[in-house]
Amino acid sequence: MTALRPEREDLYGGERPYESSGGARPYEPSGGAQPYGGRRPDPATAPLPPVDEETMALRIPEPGGGESVRPSAASSASAAAGVTPGGRAARRRAAKRRGGRRRAGAREPATASSSPSASSASSASSPSSPSSSFSSPAERGPQRPLTRVEARRQARLRRPSPATRASRAIGEVFITTGVLMLLFVTYQLWWTNVRAHAQAGSEASQLQDDWASGKRNPGVFEPGQGFAILHIPELDVAAPIAEGVSNKNVLDKGMVGHYGEAPLKTAMPDARTGNFGLAAHRNTHGEPFRYINRLKAGDAIVVETQDTYFVYKVTSTLPVTPPSNTSVLDPVPPGSGFTGPGRYITLTTCTPEFTSKYRLIVWGKMVQERPRSKGKPDALIE
């Protein structure tokens, strides 16, 4: 049986030929012949021994269809493959050095192997562009972490400028102001009406219950105390009438106020002569007088008290007058068309709508006084 022979290992890692533990020398041709002119051949460049077809050892295939590998070709192949000659320790040291060079090379741009023209163009444009010193994650490579300086620079770039922060603050102020205004308008136009209607309805029900039980007798009433109910059938209005024209105690609760306090004191409905003056909101807080501008001559206005229905008919309207014109509440108001004392009614409210700059006046004259024991008047039945 043919013994196993060592193969050349310089092509696999640059190690020297296998040496036995007994210190056997490398293979030499038989007969003591010295090839290459009597010089001892270099183990790295020495030709391979003749191939024994019966051996089971591994062999390097001969390139070129069985031709022998020339020493120069083998050396160039090992150099091209990056194989480091020497033992295992030498290969480890070479591998560590190659790894360090790879990590250092990864920090350089990936386009280092591009054309000279592209490299010169990028180097020429890099000083003029501030953002060229910062590369995207794809250009830096997935394995390269950011340095502290680069991380700080990118954080400063992501940080909004003072102008951006100011614009955001102003925008937030505008949005907040708009939301607050919307809530205020909703409160004024919707919620005040809901609350005032509930309060006025409760007051009217309580007033009728007191009339039925005899708790409220006709006479002088306290400010804010309800004593009658106003009906305007044409506008489908039914609201309690309270003493006084205070916003907090009367008008804002959805009730109609009676001018019963000096210096704007007016007569009560049961007076033999005089002007029964009333006031109410046109917008918000129940808005019972919102559409009195639609009243026309002949429309009925009914005042219901504990014992009597007082029926008035609209006679005239004053569309606009200043709030200081208190003469509209006189016993015989000027401009109303009345020529002498009588039993009149005056409705006052603000105009135009949603403002309190002027006043709208509606006058009427009593045409019927009907006891409650006889039932409702025709104006409330039709």
Active-site residue set: 281, 350
Which amino acid, one-letter code, is at 345? I
Residue 275: C-alpha distances to residues 236, 259, 264, 291, 357 (Å): 24, 10, 11, 22, 24
Residue 308 near residue 302 (C-beta atoms within 8 A):
no
Cβ contact 43:26 at 8 Å: yes
Amino acid at 300: A
Residue 38, burial from CB neighbour count under 10 angstroms (0-12, 13-18, 19+): exposed
Q: How do 256-258 and 237-243 pair as beta strands?
A: parallel
Structural tokens at position 319: 């569309």
Torsions phi, psi for 292 (to 5 deg)? -70, -15
Task: Provide the β-strand partners of residue 301.
Answer: 312
